[in-house]
Structure 1
Amino acid sequence: MGVSTSSPEKGISVVTVDFPPVNALPVHGWYALADAVRAAGRDPEVRCVVLTAEGRGFNAGVDIKEIQARGQRALLGANSGCAEAFAAVYECEVPVLAAVQGFCLGGGIGLVGNADAIVASEDATFGLPELDRGALGAATHLARLVPQHLMRTLYYTSRTASAAELHAHGSVWRVVPRAELRGAALELAREIAAKDGRLLRLAKAAINGIDPVDVRRSYRFEQGFTFEAAVSGVADRVRSTFGKDVPE
């Protein structure tokens, strides 16, 4: 349980998240993930990082029960932890490939939206149920996965999009049966890792430098409204109904 790092092949580092039952990360989990991704990117022998998760789903976002139990202290911690984890993926010195199975919700969108490439299983679904959770945020990252008007519709309705739909929009590289997900992710990572390591790092910095949106600043702007929802009481009112539709 937690965050672990392995090196299955030369030049490839796999960062795996495992927080049963649904990979809803507590505050310390987001920081641990950020540390693991940054450490992998700093390793001069690593040319590609693969971000994976154990269990039925890739990520169910923040641990709402922790926020309910600890209040604003946990909310602030989750805000900062998510910001660090999302930034770690985006700012990683080498390309980051997300291998997504099952549900990818809330904070999961922040991770994959900031990744360089995505491989998904056929049962993968992507969405932001934030309005059903008394929160806001990660529209910045959903907008990197789908067109603007679809992003808004998904955000306002809390609906999800399938891996096949995202593949059609060009944000998912490949969709495979779940049993083939790890192999497909490593296949793409292997192709990337075959390039010159120094040139890959320059390419990552160059591509980030021409990005039209400052993802860190944009996400922090969104988080201000998350906190406003909390202090106004609307977040607690919505969260009081939370639980019935959480994946088991």
Structure 2
Amino acid sequence: MGITSTTDGAGITTVTVDYPPVNAIPSQGWFELADAVLTAGKDPATHVVILRAEGRGFNAGVDIKEMQATDGHGALIAANRGCAAAFGAVYDCAVPVVVAVNGFCVGGGIGLVGNADVIVASDDAVFGLPEVDRGALGAATHLARLVPQHMMRTLYYTAQNVTAQQLEHFGSVYKVVPRADLDATAREIAEKIAAKDTRVIRCAKEAINGIDPVDVKESYRFEQGFTFELNLAGIADEHRDEFVATGKPRANH
């Protein structure tokens, strides 16, 4: 359980997330994920990283129960910094990162996937940001890398999900396959990348990041500032308490 890394000797390092039951990652887990991805990229024997998950879904975001069970703002600050670190690690990893998305990919999962280089998904995968239903903001930066601008706004304001098939249509998901074929499909594209001269691919990753029109790390931290504002106002706690108690969004009052 937790974050594990395995290397196959063929240039592929696989980082696996496993936090049952839904892969809601605790604060420290985000930092460990960041370290695993960055460490893999620093290893000259690694040509590509696969990021995958065990269990029911790829990622359910931060562990809200941990946050609500902790006095003060320590857990909130740690979760926000941890998410920023993990999202940034996927982006800054010296080699391409292929993500294999199964089931649900929500909240912080969007930050990971939006910063990845290649996305493959199971045919039951859904993607979304329930942030407004949790009294928080964030990862619109990354959702905007997956869908067109007005679709991003619609999904963000309504907290609706988008399917893997829709993302394949938009061109952000490389391939949608049955869940049983997901790992093999991720490995298939990873092997194609790993077969290239890693010296060239590493330069390519740095070059592509350098021509991005949006600084994804700065823009995400800007978004997080509004999350802190909602927390200071007490609004976020109202929404998180309701979610912990009922598992449902807080009704509008």
TM-score, length basis structure 2: 0.96
Post-superposition CA distance 1:42-83 (Å, at most 9, x none): 000111000000001000000000111114110000000000
Matched to 1:100, the amino acid is V
CA distance in 2, matches of 1:50, 1:142: 20
Q: Indicate the larger mover: 10-19 or 66-75.
A: 66-75
Unaligned residue ranges in structure 2 (runs of 5+): 249-253
Post-superposition CA distance 1:78-132 (Å, at most 9, x none): 0000000000000000000000000000000000000001000000000000011
Unaligned residue ranges in structure 1 (runs of 5+): none
Displaced runs of 4 or more, over 3 A:
243-246
- 2:164 aligned partner: 163
Q: Indicate the larger mover: 44-53 or 235-244.
A: 235-244
- 1:49 aligned partner: 49
Matched to 2:30, the amino acid is W
TM-score, length basis structure 1: 0.98
CA distance in 2, matches of 1:123, 1:186: 19
- 1:21 aligned partner: 21
Identity %: 65
Post-superposition CA distance 1:9-53 (Å, at most 9, x none): 501000000001100000010000000000000000111000000
CA distance in 2, matches of 1:123, 1:32: 28
Q: Describe the SS at the equivalent of 1:242.
A: helix
CA distance in 1, matches of 2:27, 2:241: 20
- 1:74 aligned partner: 75
- 1:182 aligned partner: 183
1:135-150 equivalences in 2 (<5 Å)? 135-150=136-151
- 1:62 aligned partner: 62
C-alpha spacing 1:9/1:179, structure 2 compared with 1 (3 Å): farther
1:76-155 equivalences in 2 (<5 Å)? 76-155=77-156
CA distance in 2, matches of 1:233, 1:38: 35
CA distance in 2, matches of 1:180, 1:56: 15
Give the drift of 1:213: 0.3
Total equivalences in the alignment: 246
CA distance in 2, matches of 1:241, 1:164: 32
